[in-house]
Amino acid sequence: MLPESGMKGSTLRLFRVTKIMLLSVRGFVDDLCLLRSSALTLYSLLSIVPVFALLFGVAKGFGFEQMLKERILEQMQQQDTVALQLLNFAENMLASTKGGVVAGIGVVVLFWTVIKVIGNIEESFNAIWRIKHSRPLSRKLSDYLALMFLAPILLIISSSITVFLKTQITWLMTMIRLPETGVWVVLKMLGLSPLVIMSALFTFLFVFIPNHKINLKAAGVAGVVTGILYQTLQWAYLSLQIGASSYNAIYGSFAALPLFIISLQMGWMIVLFGCEMCFYLQNYASYRNHKKFSELSFLLQKTIALQAMRLLALRFINKKPPLTTADIARELAVPIACVQPVITRLRQSQLIVEVKTDEGEGARFQPALDTGQLSVALVIKALERQGQNDLPETSGIESSLQIVEKIEAEIDAAYGRHLICDQIGE
């Protein structure tokens, strides 16, 4: 019996919140998120100047380059020294891409760098979501470049709204005649505007980046938690910077650089943890007992494999859409942790094939063989023979091998004509 079965109300909600947090922490470790955050930190350092240059190029085309610069400095006020250097490098890079063949190559490299860095972020998110295929190149070009063109505009709009409200709040409160308590509440809410903006940004990333259909509610909750953690990191960074006079003695004018790299690494760790949380919020029912069923006996694997093959074969015969692993688990009323290794084994045994779809809902599967030839014996034989079957010298196991082959022959005689589509057990 599951621990949740006897719980109700707030106790159940508290248990689920705790369980999701623990699953997220475990997923963070199992998915090597610490290593992935280090890789993303390196990619970010190598590509941050081209990304800024492209943002400024877009902003310049719309005539708000200076406004974007002010907003970036405002968002990076804890790293103002590094921000000024980055902006200077970005302007120099943008200036070098004007005119000539060399400049044309520079523009191509600029766009390729931006696509590459977002692609690396997508790969990390896809790994967390157990997605094996990234967007095709055509979609990467359209989606990523659209993101880069919209990013500066959205940044300006969100920051401008906040600035407008902060500057006009007194006039607005006078017009609507708010009491002192109301004024205090409004001012406190405005103070939370950076948190709201960051939470919205993370929610958007959790929905947009993975090559998968993401539940908006799960992304929203994960976005808010990630936003709170990120704002806490910014506060800690500011506190550390104030007391980091020893860094000035060691690094001199480069004192801001090691702190910036540390904050960047921590930032990616928080983002990947938020992605883990989003995954488990959306897939809690499937993964809540993942570890408990992670190593099934071969007997149970064969049992689930037969049922899964029958389900897929019947859907194929009835011309219904192929199913994902999660769909199969739901149809069989079996935890997805039990189904995943079975589906992997069926693929390796060449009993099922993956069907590619453009819906971003994960891999779907259908039978790889004629359903009129898919017998129970064939499925069991294929599963048992998956892998290496030949040894250079078998004299030491010859007697046991003959027994196994006799058992296999008896299964074939009993179930060789029993098609998988028939009711198993008839």
The pLDDT score that the predictor gives to residue 101 is 45
Residue among 389, 378, 372, 382 at smallest CA distance from 414: 378
How far apart CA 149 and CA 127 sit, in angstroms, is 26
Say yes or no to pLDDT of 394 above 70: no
φ, ψ (nearest 5 deg) of residue 366: -145, 165
Report whether pLDDT(29) > 60: yes
Share of the chain above pLDDT 70, in %: 74
Residue 251 pLDDT class (50, 70, 90 cuts): low
Architecture of domain 298-386+397-415: Orthogonal Bundle (1.10)
Among 83-92, 177-186, 199-208, the range scoring the smallest mean pLDDT is 177-186
To which residue do tokens 């006897």 refer?
A: 6
Furthest C-alpha separation in the chain: 96
pLDDT at 321 over 70: yes
Separation of alpha carbons 326 and 303, rounded Å:
18
pLDDT at position 311 over 60 = yes
Pick the residue with more confidence: 202 or 193?
202
Calculate helix-pair angle for 33-62, 65-75, nearest 10 degrees: 150
Cα dihedral angle (95, 101, 107, 112), rounded to 10 degrees?
A: -150
**Cβ partners under 8 Å of residue 13, min gap 6:** none
Q: How confident is the model at residue 425 (pLDDT cuts 50, 70, 90)?
A: very low
What would the pLDDT profile of 273-296 be if each residue is shown by its tens digit? 999 999 999 988 777 766 666 677
User: What was the pLDDT predicted at 252?
Assistant: 54
Q: pLDDT tens digit string along 337-391?
A: 788 888 888 998 889 998 876 555 567 899 988 888 888 888 888 888 877 767 6
What is the rounded distance in angstroms from the CA atom of residue 278 to the CA atom of residue 215? Answer: 9
CA dihedral sign, ordered 257, 263, 264, 265: positive
For position 106, what pLDDT does the model report?
63
Pairwise CA distance, residues 184 & 190, whole Å: 10
State how far the Cα of 361 lies from the Cα of 343, in Å rounded to an integer: 16
Highest mean pLDDT among 4-13, 29-38, 257-266: 29-38
C-alpha distance from residue 402 to each of 160, 161, 409 (Å): 79, 79, 10
Domain boundaries, the chain: 7-287, 298-386+397-415
User: At residue 325, does pLDDT exceed 80?
Assistant: yes
Please say whether the dihedral angle defined by the alpha carbons of residues 130, 136, 141 and 147, taken in this order, is positive or negative. negative
Q: Please state at what angle helix 376-384 crosses helix 298-317, rounded to 10 degrees.
A: 130
Token readout for 410 is: 């008896």
Convert the pLDDT of each residue in 105-122 to its tens digit: 666 777 788 888 889 999
Per the prediction, the chain carries an average pLDDT of: 79
Q: What is the mean pLDDT of residues 74-83?
A: 67
Average pLDDT, integer, range 180-203: 72
- What percent of the chain lies above the pLDDT cut of 90? 21
Q: Is the pTM of this model over 0.85?
A: no
Given this model, what pLDDT does residue 227 score? 92
The listed range with the strongest mean pLDDT (50-54, 222-226, 286-290, 395-399) is 222-226
* CB atoms near residue 177 (< 10 Å): 7
Mean pLDDT on 10-28: 90
Phi, psi dihedral angles at 354 (to 5 degrees)? -85, 135
Check residues 365 and 167 and name the one with the higher pLDDT: 365
**Residue that wins the pLDDT comparison between 165 and 390:** 390
Q: Decide if 213 contacts 361 (C-beta within 8 A).
A: yes
Q: From CA 267, how far away is CA 337, in angstroms rounded?
A: 31
Mean pLDDT confidence for 79-89:
73
